[in-house]
Structure 1
């Protein structure tokens, strides 16, 4: 055979070998992807929020397809009577989705992405016809919820979630919505022991004719979590909102609200067997009908929580929520579980703290700092309330502007005006407010004289401490009913013995 004739044959053989090798690799990747997706499906099935109604997986050589139907767990609805669903008739809280799984080793090559992957999974949510018709009006030909899961060969993966932007307008109803979209990324470890989340929604504008407008700008969320030794997820998360405004001018009274720079941070760490967790909320300001509120700060923490016990309780409570249908029985089983399996939490000196609560109001600042700890708890203390109280250590410092209390009292008084008297008449507003104000002043004077509160100009404050079963308020001991000896017994003369 002529050497020149051998070259095409060799090329065909090489191409054929490569095609055969790729087909085999794709089949193998598809088989491995099925195992990975089954594991991910089981994680969903184990959540207490859903019940898996059905799952069908059809594996091919280059691609596979999965169709799953899930429903909201009815056991979670019954205890809280969420949304009064029984009044809506036969509502099926079900959702079906179809996944198209493109097998590796190069599943996205035809899309111009040469990244090696075990599989690339796209998910399509199946909405009911009415919902689908509404979404088509809003999003047009765009898929309303776009989900893609890229699975690497070590089972690490990245889920990308996108809700595209849209502008929707109804001219006759004078309704307009402008949504700037949402993009979220969830990067996870193959065993889901590590999860990083990032989400951004630039903004939403909604207007309903002359009734009102709503604007939300720059919503962001980030979280970095890793599973600890006890099985709990540790790490930090941060949610921020640049601003939110709402205006209502058509109804009386008019309403104009602007929220500025809201953030929420949470951090959870592990020290040996114990979990420390803290949360911080910060608000730069809130403008309500021209009145400035804020800045506001809330900082709380829960420390020295026994990690293995928290993990055990989480699993037990999840099982109860999934399996027990009767609300009363569910609550009873959860309480019994907390009482039996939750004791190590109490034995290990847990501590809760409001490190700082500060809210600036037009009348002044409201400030609170409080701590609560349990020291030296023993199981038998649950049956001895007074002994349990002795184990508690607590302290609190509170400052409140006097005008804030007055405003609250007057609100309460005005609410009474809405209630008719027996004669069908309303009490006089000014008289009722003056009476309420005088009663408040009298009560403040009485508490000040008893040293239960302190008055410094227009600010009222108090400081309390509970330790070793004793209460102190502003440095003065306050005996509790069971601690004060009856006066009559203390002054009772001793009877003389009869003469023999």
Structure 2
């Protein structure tokens, strides 16, 4: 009897300890979720601040019901586009508290966890058509193991979509996504893929189709925030009525950013293994842009002012009628951005075809103008803001002639080819005579450097006024 009582007491103690532990873990999960939501909003704000007018996103916990062994959470993601239209996406999350969630044990996962999350998308105005196409079934499900020490692993599944509404047609193959988090959730790695995204506005309207998409994203926090992402597509087609289809093969988009203190740098690059216009192979193409020493607080304030003006005057900048106070405020925020001496670099645009390649690159160094810059005109302000500039250009004749003939749809027409060759020779000779380009080995090259109010054109020094005069004469003769 005493032995039985001792066993029951031990079982009771274990049960009490487990319930107490589970309750505590559930409480910690709640705190962790709030921290993760705040961190997600911060990351989204940083990603969007460099895109004035691109819209905003906000994640929030719409509902949280915590119990001893589990909790139910509803998340709300609100998106706002350039025109101010809002869309809401709802996600339901069933959390089983650790340290050993029941469903994890059932699947043989005996790893201590803070919580096991099983999430699904809920119907909303933005997603109802997706639910309808699946007869009410949820199109998105996710399973996440939230571990101790700020770690988690997550897997998501997206079901196919085929919707036609008001002439618009959207087809999606469905896809998968995987994510892992570490270092108190400040470090993350995400990868995923889908086979097809096809959207058209009607049978006789524009259509875009993307095949074979794979993406990878990596971010780290700490003293300096870093982010890098790569997206690949086997094919991207853009169809426009009464025009040739533009087809990009083996397309790659590479994006990276880094922030230390208030200053940030970033880069974006596109590479296309093949560019086709109709049935014409235009060759390979790559392009990119970089920026460094960008003040994030100043950029954030400029973006905020821009958004306020856009909301007040509409999304089309060319139609804005700014008051003197509005124009002064916008200029003030722009000048504050220039105070950190940012540098913009347009990586060489490289175009290769079966006859050769050409390239063009530009570096612009900016600074805040001294003196009464706020009273200057826009043209004068821009001149004062540029403290340095370098242009590098190389255009091969055979490549140029081939590209021009292809763009005219007459790659094999000898008359078009001869005309393109004559056009190249005429302008190359004019610019060479003006000292603005050098011509050798059937290629025109130029290196134009501006600094301290003077121009260095291929090693020849001259004032800006003289350079402009030479350029105008060469182009207008």
TM-score scaled by length of structure 1: 0.67
1:396 alignment counterpart? 391
1:221 to 202, 216, 236: 216
Shift of 1:483: 10
1:195 to 187, 202, 222: 187
Query: How far apart, CA to CA, are the structure 2 residues paired with 1:449 and 1:483?
Result: 13
Query: How far apart, CA to CA, are the structure 2 residues paired with 1:154 and 1:364?
Result: 55
1:366 to 358, 370, 391: 358
When the two chains are superposed, the root-mean-square deviation of aligned CA atoms in Å is 5.1
2:249 alignment counterpart? 259
Sort the Cα spacing of 1:51 and 1:220 in 2 relative to 1 into closer, same or farther, 3 A: closer
Query: How far apart, CA to CA, are the structure 2 residues paired with 1:335 and 1:150?
Result: 51
**5+ residue gaps, structure 2:** 46-55, 470-477
Contact 1:180 1:203 in 2 (8 A): yes
Query: How far apart, CA to CA, are the structure 1 residues paired with 2:161 and 2:459?
Result: 63
1:474 alignment counterpart? 458
1:239 alignment counterpart? 231
Larger radius of gyration: 1
1:77 alignment counterpart? 83
Query: How far apart, CA to CA, are the structure 2 residues paired with 1:217 and 1:264?
Result: 14
Shift of 1:27: 1.5
1:104 alignment counterpart? 98
1:495 alignment counterpart? none
Sort the Cα spacing of 1:328 and 1:374 in 2 relative to 1 into closer, same or farther, 3 A: same
Sort the Cα spacing of 1:342 and 1:205 in 2 relative to 1 into closer, same or farther, 3 A: closer
Aligned residue pairs: how many? 433
Query: How far apart, CA to CA, are the structure 2 residues paired with 1:255 and 1:129?
Result: 33
Sort the Cα spacing of 1:181 and 1:383 in 2 relative to 1 into closer, same or farther, 3 A: same
Contact 1:264 1:281 in 2 (8 A): yes
Query: How far apart, CA to CA, are the structure 1 residues paired with 2:268 and 2:342?
Result: 17
Query: How far apart, CA to CA, are the structure 2 residues paired with 1:370 and 1:14?
Result: 76
User: Is 1:66 equivalent to 2:51 in the alignment?
Assistant: no
Shift of 1:50: 3.6
Query: How far apart, CA to CA, are the structure 2 residues paired with 1:169 and 1:56?
Result: 30
Shift of 1:438: 7.6
TM-score scaled by length of structure 2: 0.70
- SS of the aligned residue for 2:221 comes to strand
Query: How far apart, CA to CA, are the structure 2 residues paired with 1:234 and 1:360?
Result: 32
Sort the Cα spacing of 1:60 and 1:320 in 2 relative to 1 into closer, same or farther, 3 A: farther
Sort the Cα spacing of 1:227 and 1:341 in 2 relative to 1 into closer, same or farther, 3 A: farther
Contact 1:258 1:288 in 2 (8 A): no
1:19 to 15, 34, 52: 15
**5+ residue gaps, structure 1:** 79-84, 86-91, 415-429, 486-500
